[in-house]
Chains A and B, each alone.
Chain A
Amino acid sequence: MAAPALADERVAAGPGGRARRGPGRRRDHLVGALLVAPALVYFLVFLLYPALSALYYSFTDWNLRSDANWVGLANYADLLFDDVKYPHFWTSVRVTLQYTLIAVPLTLVAALAQALLLNAIRRGANLFRLLLFLPVVTAEAAVGAIWRWLYDPQYGLINTLLGLVGIPGQNWLNTPELVIPALAFIAAWQCGISMIIYLAGLKGIPGTIQEAAVIDGAGPWQRFWRVTFPMLRPTTFYLLVTGVIAALQVFGLVYVIFSGNGRSVTGGPEQSGLTYVLHLYLFAFRYDAMGAACAMSFILLVFIVIVTALQFRFVRQEAS
């Protein structure tokens, strides 16, 4: 995220960029510092300090209660290499990658399709926009409960609807191969924010470009691939980067879906829904290994940074 912000040449060109002279300049320094101060205090107290202390705990055997003992790199080494202590660490990595690879593209496609349709119509656009936005406003606890029922193998609406078109009903949340697609579908169902952002991107495409393409005789399909989609690349890139960061941290939904019914949360059938952060959560709060959980979160941080950097390097290059 840092790169585009920094590269923005407008930083220097804006009125703030052109430094004033004399007392005005000194006053600017004071005002600027004062305006940033509350956010900075917040950053130091609730972001930087917690992050550093989590980093410290990741080198200890802390269990939330007793004093933390320094164990050096043991947590990191054990997580990566000791499959007796952490038999499902790599499972959780695999599950999370699968989820990300399915959920993010699915969400983007759904959001883009909705935005294109909304952008093409006039009458009723407001109503449709509202209806398509609805899934975003629901609390996670409720989303999990609703979908657990929709996916129910006996009473679920989804199997009933599939039955109408002759597809046999599935045991969605209890078949390892179907768990991730089922979760990804819920994510795509909640694509409203991405849809709105795509819509913003579409509104930003000058009408003259589209008209020129029409005059050149391009059909709607060609116009989409030659004009619209390339123009939307910055938006797609933004949604891709933030979407991947969020998908790698998916937690609330799986926690709600696989808890309850008296079952302890062990991540669905054959750990097929054991996402990275759910696994981390279990070690933090259920298996008494906060130190290891902190180490997991820094492994995740490093991974997120690498994935994001790769996207900036390759996807962005391709985009421009």
Chain B
Amino acid sequence: MRKASMYAALVLLAAVSVVPFLWMLATSFKHGQDIYSKVPSLLPLDRKTGEWAATLGNYDYVLGVGGLGGAFVNSVWVCAVLVPAKLLIDALAAYAFARIPFPGRDRLFVIMLGGMMVPAITLLVPRIHVTQSLGMFDTGWGLIVPNIASVLDIFLMRQFFLSLPAELEEAALIDGAGRMRIFWTIVLPLSKPVLAVVTITSFLFHWNDLVWPLLVTNDPELYTLPLALQQLVASPDGGRAYYIMAGATLAVLPVIAVLLVFQRRILAGIAFTGLKG
């Protein structure tokens, strides 16, 4: 009985989560005026006759005129380079902050943590200056390098590394293994949960980030998915829901696919982070 009510509650919550997606999916297959039906429909139906009326025309439009195809490729590239590079830089720093003493280490760590509190919007325009003087404004590197490390991720990973049992590493040190060997062969394999968290959160963030690419790219050939989506949303005819939803569906499908395939590793991994504040 108690189980039944729990499942009922979960079904209800899951419905709240999923219905907006079903609406998005249905709308992406609708013909123009069918989105204006008095009773909103979660299926692509004709608004007058109520009969099935689905079209692939919206996808055709957003991939062609809408430029989503190219943007898709760009987003994949940016994430494929940025996410692993960021993971590596952050993990190395986090490991040093957790385990390898050097003069001024802890003071440096606190200073860097302070940087976490600076509102992102504060940094936008000066970052554009920096990006410009490095010659990366309006280039692919401009989308990647200014985002290539994250203090929050370093913080999370350091906390995790600290929570690992030190005995293994100490034994390896005594056996004469170098710090890097220990990092690659002992620490990283034990850290899959936190690596999963950081990977998925930074992938989601950069896959969906609108503001930085908006400011740092001029050339439409560099546009990422959120920028191409924004072109549909802010289009001069007030935005057409069926195009926007076709674009949104295309943007979200790969993420869902990744989640489905890696759901064990990613979501379950997150659940075992041992994140205790």
In the complex, chain A residues whose CB is within 8 Å of the CB of B251: 138-139, 142
Residue A13 interfacial (CB < 8 Å) = yes
Report whether B110 and A15 are in contact in the complex, using a CB–CB cutoff of 8 Å.
no
In the complex, chain B residues whose CB is within 8 Å of the CB of A144: 233
Alpha-carbon distance A139/B97, docked complex (angstroms):
33
Report whether B248 and A46 are in contact in the complex, using a CB–CB cutoff of 8 Å.
no
Residue A269 interfacial (CB < 8 Å) = no
Alpha-carbon distance A256/B162, docked complex (angstroms):
40
0/1 per residue, A144-159, Cβ < 8 Å to B?
1111011000111100
Looking across the interface, which residue of chain A has its beta carbon closest to that of B273?
A: A200
Task: Identify B101's interface contact among A28, A134, A150, CB under 8 A.
Answer: A28
CB interface residues, B 144-161, toward A, < 8 Å: 146, 148-149, 151, 154-155, 158-159
**Distance (Å) between the CB of A178 and the closest chain B CB?**
18
User: Is chain A's binding surface mostly helix, strand, loop or mixed?
Assistant: helix
Alpha-carbon distance A154/B118, docked complex (angstroms):
41
0/1 per residue, B88-116, Cβ < 8 Å to A?
01101101111111110110111011111
Interface stretch, picked from B52-60, B76-84, B202-210, is B202-210
CB interface residues, B 126-175, toward A, < 8 Å: 126-127, 129-130, 146, 148-149, 151, 154-155, 158-159, 162-163, 166, 169-170, 173
Q: A32-B102, A36-B97, A252-B211 are in contact. Are A145 and B245 (CB under 8 A)?
A: yes
**Distance (Å) between the CB of B17 and the closest chain A CB?**
5
Alpha-carbon distance A186/B89, docked complex (angstroms):
34
Residue B190 interfacial (CB < 8 Å) = no
Looking across the interface, which residue of chain B has its beta carbon closest to that of A203?
A: B271
* Interface residues contributed by chain A, number (CB under 8 Å): 111
In the complex, chain B residues whose CB is within 8 Å of the CB of A5: 109-110, 113, 155, 158-159
* Interface residues contributed by chain B, number (CB under 8 Å): 113
In the complex, chain B residues whose CB is within 8 Å of the CB of A43: 112, 115, 149, 151
Residue B66 interfacial (CB < 8 Å) = no
In the complex, chain B residues whose CB is within 8 Å of the CB of A134: 17-18, 21, 256
Residue B229 interfacial (CB < 8 Å) = yes
Alpha-carbon distance A78/B181, docked complex (angstroms):
57
User: Is chain B's binding surface mostly helix, strand, loop or mixed?
Assistant: helix
In the complex, chain B residues whose CB is within 8 Å of the CB of A13: 166
In the complex, chain B residues whose CB is within 8 Å of the CB of A298: 122
Residue A201 interfacial (CB < 8 Å) = yes
Looking across the interface, which residue of chain B has its beta carbon closest to that of A116?
A: B6
Task: Identify B96's interface contact among A15, A31, A53, CB under 8 A.
Answer: A31
**Distance (Å) between the CB of B93 and the closest chain A CB?**
4
In the complex, chain A residues whose CB is within 8 Å of the CB of B159: 5, 8
Q: A35-B95, A139-B251 are in contact. Are A260 and B234 (CB under 8 A)?
A: yes
**Distance (Å) between the CB of B246 and the closest chain A CB?**
11
0/1 per residue, A248-259, Cβ < 8 Å to B?
110110001001
Residue B3 interfacial (CB < 8 Å) = yes
Report whether B277 and A130 are in contact in the complex, using a CB–CB cutoff of 8 Å.
no
Q: A117-B6, A117-B9, A138-B248 are in contact. Are A6 and B239 (CB under 8 A)?
A: no
Using a CB–CB distance below 8 Å, which chain B residues touch chain A? 2-3, 6-7, 9-10, 13-14, 16-21, 23-24, 27, 35-40, 89-90, 92-93, 95-103, 105-106, 108-110, 112-127, 129-130, 146, 148-149, 151, 154-155, 158-159, 162-163, 166, 169-170, 173, 178-180, 201, 204, 207-208, 210-211, 225-226, 229-230, 233-234, 236, 238-239, 241, 244-245, 247-248, 251-252, 255-256, 259-260, 263-264, 267, 270-277
* A-B CB contact pairs (8 Å), 23 listed: A6-B106, A35-B95, A36-B102, A36-B108, A38-B92, A117-B10, A128-B14, A130-B263, A134-B18, A139-B225, A141-B233, A141-B248, A150-B23, A157-B23, A160-B39, A189-B20, A200-B271, A234-B276, A261-B238, A294-B122, A301-B118, A304-B117, A304-B119
Using a CB–CB distance below 8 Å, which chain A residues touch chain B? 1-2, 4-6, 8, 10-11, 13-17, 19-20, 28-33, 35-36, 38-40, 42-43, 45-51, 53-54, 57, 64, 110, 113-114, 117-118, 120-121, 124, 126, 128-142, 144-147, 149-150, 154-157, 160, 189, 193, 196-197, 199-201, 203-204, 220, 234-235, 237-238, 245, 248-249, 251-252, 256, 259-262, 277, 280-281, 284, 290, 294, 297-298, 300-301, 304-305, 308
Known: A238-B276, A252-B211. 18 other contacts (CB 8 A): A5-B110, A11-B162, A14-B166, A15-B170, A39-B90, A46-B123, A120-B6, A121-B3, A140-B208, A140-B226, A142-B244, A145-B241, A157-B40, A160-B39, A200-B272, A249-B119, A261-B239, A301-B119
